[in-house]
Amino acid sequence: MNGFLAEELAVFPANYAGHLKLALGALLTGLVISIPAGILAARQRHFAGPALATASIVQTIPGIALLALMVPLMGGMIGFWPAFAALSLYSILPMLRNTIVGLRGVDSDVREAALAVGMTARQRLKEIDLPLAAPVIVAGLRTASAWVVGTATLSTPVGARSLGNYIFQGLQTRNWTAVLFGCLVSAALALALDQIIAQFEKSARDRKRSHALAGMAGLVLIILPALSIFIPAGAGAGAGTGSSGAAPAEVAASQPLQGQTFTVGSKAFTEQYILADLIRRKLEAEGARVQTREGLGTTVAFDALANDSIDIYVDYTGTVWASLMKQDEPAQRSDMYAQVTAWLLDQRGVLALGKLGFENAYAFATSPETAARYNLETIGDVAGKPLSIASDPEFFGRPEWTRTRDAYGLQNLSIRSMDSAFMYDAVRRGEVGLITAYTTDGRIDAYDLVLLDDPRAVLPPYDAFLLVSPQGRENTALLNVLESLEGKISTELMRQANSRVDLERGSVAEAGAWLYEQVFPQEE
């Protein structure tokens, strides 16, 4: 806990700079598109309708969906560009609408007088129409800036760094301080940007330089914290999440990855954050520079790997089997891994490097009280009982759920989707009867949860394994380093690492450091 602030501050410049770059870039792009379009639309009614309708439709798409849609639309690209594109689209409507409304609101007598005194159409636009419409247009810009700064926090799942990294990771690891921190900084940035725009507007309206200066000063002030990312890594903070402890003993010795840069991905739950941190530590110990892309969705992470946007991440055999290969029938453990490996390489050029040694499967879990009350031992015992089941939204969309449901006659269960961070407490308190626990989660032991048997072996195995991108698999030095992780993490070890975050409220970096020490004990 006490390490929290230092760690959060260490990644702050990168998160903040990413957020600012996204927000300012999207606003500027939106401005450049919507002002000319608004000018055109204000004078040509047959263009105004379609333009506004299109922008409104974009606006009705929830922010997180629009961001996620950009990934396939841009050929599986993740990171800055899809987030930037989605946010730019988002910023267009308020500015377009206000430009049209503002220009149409200019007094027609004044506009006619402008022509009568001898202005050209262009002079009238510049000297009369735009200045008089400016307050309305600027109001649109302020609306857009509030939306964009807020929505930018949702860029994390598509792999763009933002203040959302604090929120998403905090939510998954139940680190409410991080969630609050991300929200507060984002809100402060939105307010600051609003004030800056207001200052520039005042300076334009009253033609006073003092307001412009105040605006510029504000702009510098919000950009300044982002600039510290340019402090070279050697100077300290730049290297990333508290890597100070990374094996100084090995520095002078052979560093096979010296000078290389890799990107490690992680999906959005505690174990994934910890594993990404572990891999980062290992690669950095071998001399590499490492970036992380955290909190990605399953398909986003895989697509990013397949097109070399990230180099490495950890996935699970059952996930690839069901979500990517679209296989309905489960397979034997060893057979499944062989098939998954072959499919990944043949179909997507991705290398499955090896199992890490643990399994993180879905298991039906219930509280001891519920188990006793309804006499539950196997999944089949649940049939016909008046119980509810909670899981992450992904699970209920997978074939293994429908298959389990049909195999054990679970049609009567009422279904509740919730974030995995909340479901363990929900089942412990009896708010839901069952959950689909992750078998590596430390809360199974801590809460004394009862795991129900699966006698028909309907639930597929979920062995964790390392995936390497098409580019990365050509890199022998990298593969050699990564192979050192193979078989090193037992289910028990992973569960302990997860507990450090989920139960003991330690940070991901602390858990990652701990796991690193367990896997690679420091030899003298």
Partner 1 sequence: MSFDLASGETLALIGHSGCGKTTTLKMLNRLIEPDEGEVRLGGLNAHDMPAHEWRRRIGFVIQSAGLFPHRTVRENVLVTPRLLGWADARQERKLRELLSMVGLPAETYAERYPAALSGGERQRVGLARALAGEPDIILMDEPFAALDPLTRTGLIDDIARLKSELGFASVLVTHDFAEALRLGDRVAVMDGGRIIQKGAPAELIASPANDTVRDLLAAPRQLAETVGKAFGDQGG
Query: DSSP string covering 308-319, please?
Result: TSSSEEEEEHHH
What part of residues 132-151 is at the interface with partner 1 (CB under 8 A)?
A: 132
The mark string for 461-490 relative to partner 1 (x by CB under 8 A, - otherwise) is: ------------------------------
377-406 burial string, b = 16+ CB within 10 Å, else e?
Answer: eebbbbeebebebbbbebbbebbbbebbbe
Q: How many residues sit in the footprint of partner 1 (CB under 8 A)?
A: 18
Count the neighbouring beta carbons within 10 Å of the beta carbon of residue 432.
24
Q: Provide the token pair at 158.
A: 């598509």
Q: Provide the token pair at 365.
A: 């879990």
What part of residues 176-205 is at the interface with partner 1 (CB under 8 A)?
A: 205
What minimum distance in Å lies between the beta carbon of 212 and partner 1?
Answer: 17
Residue 119 found at the interface with partner 1 (CB under 8 A): yes
Residue 113 found at the interface with partner 1 (CB under 8 A): yes
SS3 261: strand
Give the interface segment with partner 1, choosing from 10-18, 118-126, 295-303, 305-313 (CB under 8 A). 118-126
Burial class (CB in 10 A: 0-12, 13-18, 19+), 360: buried
C-alpha of 123 from chain center: 47
Residue 206 found at the interface with partner 1 (CB under 8 A): no
Q: Is 356 within 8 Å of 398 (Cβ atoms)?
A: no
What minimum distance in Å lies between the beta carbon of 89 and partner 1?
Answer: 32
Distance CA 320, CA 343 (A): 10
Distance CA 340, CA 359 (A): 15
Give the interface segment with partner 1, choosing from 109-117, 143-151, 238-246, 503-511 (CB under 8 A). 109-117
Give the interface segment with partner 1, choosing from 7-15, 38-46, 128-136, 302-310 (CB under 8 A). 128-136
Residue 110 found at the interface with partner 1 (CB under 8 A): yes
Residue 112 found at the interface with partner 1 (CB under 8 A): yes
- Looking at this protein, which amino acid is placed at residue 475? N
Q: Is 294 within 8 Å of 276 (Cβ atoms)?
A: yes
What minimum distance in Å lies between the beta carbon of 131 and partner 1?
Answer: 5
What minimum distance in Å lies between the beta carbon of 38 and partner 1?
Answer: 19
C-alpha of 332 from chain center: 33
Distance CA 392, CA 406 (A): 19
Residue 116 or 224 with smaller CB distance to partner 1? 116
Q: Which of 1, 65, 73, 115 binds partner 1 (CB under 8 A)?
A: 115
What minimum distance in Å lies between the beta carbon of 209 and partner 1?
Answer: 18
What minimum distance in Å lies between the beta carbon of 37 and partner 1?
Answer: 24
Binding site for partner 1 (CB under 8 A): 107, 109-110, 112-120, 123, 127-128, 131-132, 205
